[in-house]
Structures are given as structure tokens and as C-alpha cells.
Structure 1
Amino acid sequence: MPDDLMLQHVRRFGRYNQWANRRLYDACGMLPAAEFSAPRPSFFGSIMATLNHILVGDSIWLGRFTGNPPPGVTRLDQILHAEFAPLRAAREAKDAEIIAFCDGMTDEKLNDTFSYANMRGERFTDPLFPPLMHFFNHQTHHRGQVHGLLSHAGVSPPELDMIYFMRVAA
């Protein structure tokens, strides 16, 4: 894929991510507070915990990409915000950071490597593009889990497929 197409792809994913998160949070906002945090059969145990995991993962990976690890994030299942409103505000802020990062991407950076430590302290040096695609894929995976949990909570989950974003974002 030519570099200019890769840059467009990364920037599109940054905006898609924000669009999908807004739609998902709009649906989650229809839940009563007790339903938002109610235990559910899922990997993270609730809608609230799954949304927190997405935010934690985004914070960790964006910190790795930028060389600025998030302070205070120590576990992948960490609850950063137990209440919906502050979690949504943090999500909006993180999505703005992601878009700014993607918009600031250059061909050189996209084709460069970066070094980081994982949660166990193991050090890695990787080319940026594949982990950046993992970053977006991870978000999509867990948004899909929340999408399913919403169905069981009695809220119609929104369409989140990228093709819908592309139709409205053109």
C-alpha cells in the first residue's frame, strides 16, 4: 500500500474509532446506572468494565506510540471510571488524542520502529504500522462485545460497521 494511502487509512481509522465510540456510548447512555454496571456473562464482567478496558488499552498503546505512558494505569482490567458520565468524558478526550496522533502521522513515522515495555516489563521494538492496526482492531473487538451486551440489556445496539461510517463521513 503506498504511503499516502496508509496515512489516509490511519486517519480514517482514527475518525471511525471516534464515530463508533460516540454511537456506542449514546446507546449505553440509555441504560439505567444499575444496568450499566450490572454483572453480565462476559470477559470483563459488565458493560462498564469492558468500556473501561477499551480506554485502558487505548491509553497504554497510545502511550507506547508517543513515548508517554499513562500515569497510574497498572492493569488491563483497571476501572478508571465507575460512573458513566466521567467515563464518557474520558473516552471523548482519548478519541481526540487519537485523532491528533493520527493527523500528525508522517510517512517516516508510520514506516519507523518504536520501542516500549509491556505490562510485564518486557521490552520490544516493533515497526509502528502493525501495532497501530492492532490498536484499532482491539477497540473494534471489544466494542463488539459491548454491542452484544447491550442487546441482552434491552437496548438496541447501533450499527458500528465501518461501511456505515464511510457513508456518513464522506
Structure 2
Amino acid sequence: MLEHWRMFAAYNAWANRRLYDACGARPEADFSRDGGAFFGSLKATLNHLLVADRIWLARFEGEANPAYRLDTVLFEDLAALTAAREFEDARLSDYVGRLGPDDLGGVVTYRRQATSEDIRQPLAQALAHIFNHQTHHRGQAHALLTQFGGVEAAPSLDLAFFLRGVR
């Protein structure tokens, strides 16, 4: 089961690299353009994913939640956001790589950002959430790229392509 999570961590980094490369190929104005996605723009959507990952990694490591709102824009420009994304993807891969078989049966205890509710959740469920959450919002960013630049503007992010070694 550990290999399953390590595969998802590697896929996550691969998909993010492809998505960020596609964002970088678009006119700069498209990065901040509101395309009607849940968080509006590519900038806001990608920042949301970074914020959420920082929150979840803090929880996994037993640290206090960072004091971010889920719509916090940490980085205004794509270059700085890309560097931060790569760093978080490496942190997530490192965390998953350090897990042992007994860790997956463990529990994550944390306090929600939006309310002061304390939550206890199996680690395996929390890992499933973080990777699913990434896929969900990457899909929204992918739709924005398609909307702004057509089908050729958005790369394939299919897990099957990653598993076959498509680069």
C-alpha cells in the first residue's frame, strides 16, 4: 500500500509540472483572468492548492495549522508560485516516502480552518483527500487553460499517461 501513495505523490508532482508549464506558455494576462472557476482564476486556483497542501502537510507533521484562509493568494506571479509548488511537492513526496507500513493505520488529529472543530481522521483517508483535492482543482485549472487557449493549451494530466512514462 505504501507504493500506492508514493505513486500518487510522484504523479502529483508530474501533473503539477505539466500544468504549470502550460500556464507559463499562456499570455501573462491569462494567469489572473477570471474564467468563472470556483476560485476564479488560474492564479487563485493554484494558490488555493498550495495553501491547502501547506495546511495538510502541517497536520500530517503534527504542526499547528498555518493561519491561511483557503482563498489566500500567497504568490502574485507564476514564477514564485511555481517555485513554491515544486517545494511543496517535494515535501509531500518526502513525507510519503518516510511512511512505514504501520503509519497508514494511524490517525491524523487536527482543527479545521473554517471552524474550531477538532477532527480525527485515519491517515490513509487524509492522504486520499489531499491527492483527490489536487486532481479536482487541477481539473478546474485545466478547464481554464482550455477555455483561454483551446484544447492544445492544456496538457494531458491522465494518470495513465504518467504510468506509461509520457513526458
TM range (shorter): over 0.9
Pairing 1:4-153 to 2, within 5 Å after superposition: 6-69=1-64, 71=66, 73-119=67-113, 120-153=115-148
| TM-score (structure 2 length as normaliser) | 0.93
- C-alpha RMSD of matched pairs (Å): 1.2
Q: Secondary structure at the match of 2:164?
A: helix
Distance 2:41 2:64 in 1: 26
Spell out, residue by residue over 1:52-97, the C-alpha distance to the aligned partner (whole angstroms, 9 max, x if none). Answer: 01111111111111112454x4200100101110000000000000
**How far apart are the structure 1 equivalents of 2:23 and 2:64?**
28
1:164 aligns with 2:161: yes
Quick one: distance in 2 between partners of 1:30 and 1:146? 14
Alpha-carbon distance, 1:107 to partner: 1.0
Q: TM-score, normalised by structure 1?
A: 0.92
1:102 counterpart letter in structure 2: V
* Cα distance between partner residues in 1 of 2:64 and 2:35: 31
Partners of 1:146 and 1:86 in 2: CA distance: 18
Distance between the aligned counterparts of 2:74 and 2:96, measured in 1?
24
Q: Shift in Å at residue 127 of structure 1?
A: 1.1
CA distance in 2, matches of 1:37, 1:114: 35
Aligned residues: 163
Q: Which runs of 4+ in 1 moved over 3 A?
A: none
Q: How far apart are the structure 1 equivalents of 2:12 and 2:24?
A: 18
Cα offsets for 1:87-143 (capped at 9, x unmatched): 000000000001100100111111111211111221111111011101100000000
- Going from structure 1 to structure 2, the CA distance change for 1:33 and 1:69 (only over 3 Å counts) comes to farther
User: What amino acid does structure 2 have at the position aligned with 1:131?
Assistant: A
Q: 1:69 to 1:16 in 2, by over 3 A?
A: farther
Seq. identity, %: 48
Asked if the contact 2:56–2:130 (Cα under 8 Å) also holds between the matched residues in 1, the reply is yes
